[in-house]
Structure 1
Amino acid sequence: MKHVFRRVAAVAAIVLSTGAAQAEMIDFEQPVTAPFAPMLTHEDVFLQGSYAFLAFSNASNAGFGDLVGAMIDGNDLSMCSGVVCPTNNTSTFYGALNDGAVAFSRLDGQSFAVNSFDASFIGGMGSALPPVAGLLRLQGFTSTGATMSQTFQLAGPNTGGELGFGSYQTSGTFASTNFAQVYAFGFACNAGGTCNAFSTDRGQFALDNISVTAVPELETTAMFALGLIAMGAAVRRRRQQSV
């Protein structure tokens, strides 16, 4: 029976050293339940896989019913009648509208890292857009309250006048940090290169295919590993008692 105990102890050691990493792709294909779905208003909460999302406005006078986002079907862009949406995505994606922001975290409370995502600017109808139409900023908060951010440039229209998704990867310390919650919000840029957030109602963006990896906190992992060791010891004792 010693070999059984050794195997359990070995598994526990691996769990302690690596954690049970959980990779997931948030693709926004899960149906959303909200009062005005697929439109999303201030403080609407919706679920996607193992994650909860909060759509909200940063305006001081924001209230119930204020439009801040939408779940957009890339095969039917009729929802984009008042804005210019990206045209190179045929799946469902999240669109942040009217300077709206979105925050997301895991349902089980575990921390997670953001690896990559697809994003595009969403333009205002009839407005000329510069080569860098806007910025997308991710701001992460750790379980200890520390925060850091990373900002990404969103391209303007292509030669055909259409906006499109690009693929982005996080990097450096931001990429290697596990966050309890991540905010995403947009900036609108003008031809002079000045970019503003939360002041123009044009800081709009589309978001899709967020690659995230969750790793249980050390305390949770240690408890799981100790449980495995205790289980192996119990099996060994029962075996010895039956001999």
Structure 2
Amino acid sequence: MLAATLAIGGVAQAGTLNFEGKPQSPWVTAGQHVKIGDYWIEAYGGSQLGDLVGAFVKGSEPETCAAASCPVNNLSQYYTGLDDGYFYFGRNDNTSFRLDSLNASFVGAGQQSFPDMAGQLLLQGFDAAGKELGPLVRLALAAPEDGLFSFQHFNLGKLTDYYDSVLVFGLECGDDGQCFRGGGANFAIDDIATIPEPGSLALFGLGMGGLALASRRRRVR
């Protein structure tokens, strides 16, 4: 019974932040908190609260990317960090998770040329108290091919710890390969797959097992 319950808990807890759905507005402003399925995101950037820092873009409708050069190989809805915007995300049920994989791309904003590594996507995890966990993860975002950007798939494997929330932001890189924190960059991201912490699943399974046992006892009586 317990093994079966744990298996059910694993299915219930694992998931993917894919930015699908119909947000109230395609535009995201600094300080805005948005729930997307089993997850939440909170965006920041700009010079003050209310500044435009992100957008939900429909890949099947390129015009929703406005004047930026968005990736062309994803027809689903995804998120873009704009005007040096960045965001945090976590699960609505507050359970810890590890990052398994994601898709990401650099987003051009008027540049005429790009180095081989146009930018980097950076990921920093935090615990429930807001303390940084593990090393900063850096993912290289490639320059466009034939003038067009494309999503890249990144398998994160064991690069990450178990987090309560994750900060996501982009950096622009120079021809010398250097990417600086002061050089924020627009980026696109989609399909962030997460894996629940085993301890969280065990607690969930024990709770479900206890409920099942109590229910069985009531039936026997």
TM range (shorter): 0.7 to 0.9
Q: CA deviation at 1:19?
A: 7.4
Cα deviation digits, residues 171-190 of structure 1 (max 9, x gap): 2251xx33211111111101
Aligned length: 215
Distance 2:100 2:69 in 1: 27
- The answer for unaligned runs of 5 or more in structure 1 is 1-10, 239-243
Q: CA deviation at 1:40?
A: 0.9
Report what 1:213 is aligned to. 195
Q: Work out whether 1:157 is the aligned partner of 2:144.
A: yes
Report what 2:216 is aligned to. 232
* Conservation of the 8 A alpha-carbon contact between 1:99 and 1:204: yes
Q: CA deviation at 1:76?
A: 2.4
Cα deviation digits, residues 95-148 of structure 1 (max 9, x gap): 001221111111111222221111000122134211101111111123464512
TM-score by length of 2: 0.86
For the residue of structure 2 that corresponds to 1:188, the secondary structure is strand
Distance 1:26 1:40 in 2: 16
Counterpart among 164, 179, 204 of residue 186 in structure 2: 204
Distance 2:34 2:149 in 1: 26
Cα deviation digits, residues 165-215 of structure 1 (max 9, x gap): 1111112251xx332111111111010111023x23x41110011222335
For the residue of structure 1 that corresponds to 2:43, the secondary structure is strand
For the residue of structure 2 that corresponds to 1:72, the secondary structure is strand
Distance 1:231 1:179 in 2: 34
Q: Work out whether 1:147 is the aligned partner of 2:129.
A: no
Distance 2:65 2:159 in 1: 36
For the residue of structure 2 that corresponds to 1:70, the secondary structure is strand
For the residue of structure 1 that corresponds to 2:9, the secondary structure is coil
Q: Work out whether 1:168 is the aligned partner of 2:154.
A: yes
Q: Cα RMSD over matched residues?
A: 2.2
Calculate percent identity across the aligned residue pairs.
29
Distance 2:5 2:66 in 1: 51
> Structure 1 pair 146/191, CA: closer, same or farther in 2 (3 Å)?
closer
Report what 1:190 is aligned to. 174
Distance 1:121 1:13 in 2: 43
Q: What does residue range 45-64 of structure 1 map to in structure 2 within 5 Å?
A: 45-57=33-45, 62-64=47-49
Distance 2:127 2:205 in 1: 18
Report what 1:23 is aligned to. 14
Q: CA deviation at 1:218?
A: 4.4
* Conservation of the 8 A alpha-carbon contact between 1:119 and 1:206: yes
Distance 1:173 1:72 in 2: 28
- The answer for unaligned runs of 5 or more in structure 2 is none
